[in-house]
Every structure is written in C-alpha cells, then in structure tokens.
Amino acid sequence: MGNEELLNETGKYWNSRYEENRTGWDLSQASPPLKNYIDTLANKNAAILIPGCGNAYEAEYLLSKGFTNITLIDIAPTLVNKLKEQFKGKPINVILGNFFEHNGKYDLMLEQTFFCALDPSLRKKYVEKSYSLLNANGKIAGVLFGVLFEKEGPPFGGTKEEYELLFKPKFSFLQFDVCKTSIAPRMGNELFIEFEKKPG
Ligand SMILES: C[S@@+](CC[C@H](N)C(=O)[O-])C[C@H]1O[C@@H](n2cnc3c(N)ncnc32)[C@H](O)[C@@H]1O
C-alpha cells in the first residue's frame, strides 16, 4: 500500500469512529496524568505537539494555563474540521495529516492513546519520527498502556520491557513507572513516561 492510500484508509477508519460516535477512548476531559505533568512545566512558550490529538482536551487545558505554542495533528477530517472551528483565533495550529508525514520542530510531544492506536509494526517508526520532530533535549511525555490486551487492537498494548528496548537507542528515561493518577478503569494499566531525546 502506498503512502497516500495508507493515509486515506487510516483516515477513513478513524473518521468513521468519530462519525459513528465509537470513541471509547475519549475521556471527555484532559487526561489527569497529563494535566499533572503540564502543571510542572515552567516554559509557557515551549513548542508542544499533540499527535493523534482526538478531541484535544489537553490543548484546552494548555490554553487555560497560558501556553502559547501548541500544534495538534490528527488524520480524521471530520474531527479536525471541528477542532479548527473550536480553536479559531486561539494560539493553536490544527493540522489535518499523518503524523509520520509531518515536519516540524517541538520541545515536547504529549502522548495520550496515540501510540496504542497505531499498528505495532509502526512502533519503531514512531520512535524515529518523534526523535526527528524534537529539538535537542526535547521530550515525549504522557501515558502508554503497560499491559497486553486479549482483544485485537486498537488499542494495542505492550510491556515496559518492550518499550525499554524500543526507546532506549534514542531516548533517556526521566520517568517510566506505573501511573498513579490514571482514570479508574485504567488504573494500574498505564505507564507514565517522560523520555528525553538523546544527543546525536
Ligand atoms: C485512540 S484515538 C486517541 C485520541 C486522543 N489522543 C484521546 O486520547 O482522546 C487515536 C487518534 O489518533 C488519530 N490517528 C491515528 N493514526 C494517525 C496518524 N497516522 N496520524 C495522525 N493521527 C492519527 C486518530 O484519528 C484518533 O483521533
């Protein structure tokens, strides 16, 4: 499958999930672990990317805290049109597109059920793409599922050991533990990560 075709197929799949309201991942609020993390950030001008942003409650939270440089990217057109309307006039760049085709430079990437939405065959590419999108000492922070699911994904689960091997060549681990502030249904099943881009 070519890139264009893959984009169309992936976009169609996720778009239909939004159009049919089959959005079981959606928290209807900013993810509590991400909120806590955002509260620790001092630089309100940091360039922040939220890939696979969905309804982007975290972006609303960032705005409410005075952050000025936020980029959202998602592959689902209906959702992105809604977000463009919602964030009109706000310091938020809303992009309809494929994360893997995106070019830009960021200080921070926030991860909330985007990694687990991707086919596991794309995980190495996710690490490499994130690395290339980040400035020196840039970070990925957020949550990853730390369990394997019996049902075919998405969401696709994983283990800490797998993620260690995957991210270690490109990132240093500043935080990498079972998340203590997950929402109740995910409690114990998420790892909170703060990974810093290694030099090189
Ligand atoms: C499980 S949802 C999570 C949405 C949001 N992060 C949340 O937690 O509510 C995964 C999101 O990733 C988007 N997505 C999937 N593949 C993508 C890709 N290659 N590039 C950009 N967005 C993608 C989907 O459209 C969907 O909005």
The answer to whether 44 and 66 have CB atoms below 8 angstroms apart is yes
Per the DSSP assignment, residues forming a β-bridge with 143 are: 112, 192
pLDDT in tens, 137-167: 999 999 999 999 999 999 999 999 999 999 9
Which residue's CA lies nearest to atom 12 of ligand 1? 52
The runs of H, that is alpha helices, within 1-122 are: 3-19, 32-38, 57-64, 77-86
* pLDDT value at residue 6: 55
* pLDDT value at residue 4: 58
* pLDDT value at residue 25: 96
Which residue's CA lies nearest to atom 5 of ligand 1? 54
User: In ligand 1, which atom is closest to the CA atom of 14?
Assistant: 25
Torsion of CA 150, 115, 50, 96, to 10 degrees: -90
> Helix or strand or coil: residue 172?
strand
Please give the model's pTM, rounded to 2 decimal places.
0.96
Which residue's CA lies nearest to atom 4 of ligand 1? 54
**Residue 11 beta carbon below 6 angstroms from any ligand 1 atom:** no
* 8: confidence class by pLDDT, cuts 50, 70, 90: confident
Q: What is the mean pLDDT of the chain?
A: 95
**Residue 49 beta carbon below 6 angstroms from any ligand 1 atom:** no
* 96: confidence class by pLDDT, cuts 50, 70, 90: very high
**Residue 112 beta carbon below 6 angstroms from any ligand 1 atom:** yes
**Residue 98 beta carbon below 6 angstroms from any ligand 1 atom:** yes
Give the residue-averaged pLDDT of 16-40: 97
Give the residue-averaged pLDDT of 35-43: 98
Which residue's CA lies nearest to atom 19 of ligand 1? 98
* pLDDT value at residue 7: 60
Structural domains of the chain, ranges and CATH numbers in brackets: 3-18+29-197 (3.40.50.150)
The answer to whether 143 and 182 have CB atoms below 8 angstroms apart is yes
Q: Percent of the chain at pLDDT above 70?
A: 96
pLDDT for 3 beyond 90 = no
CA of 124 to the centre of ligand 1 (A): 17
Contacts of 200 (CB under 8 A, 6+ apart): none
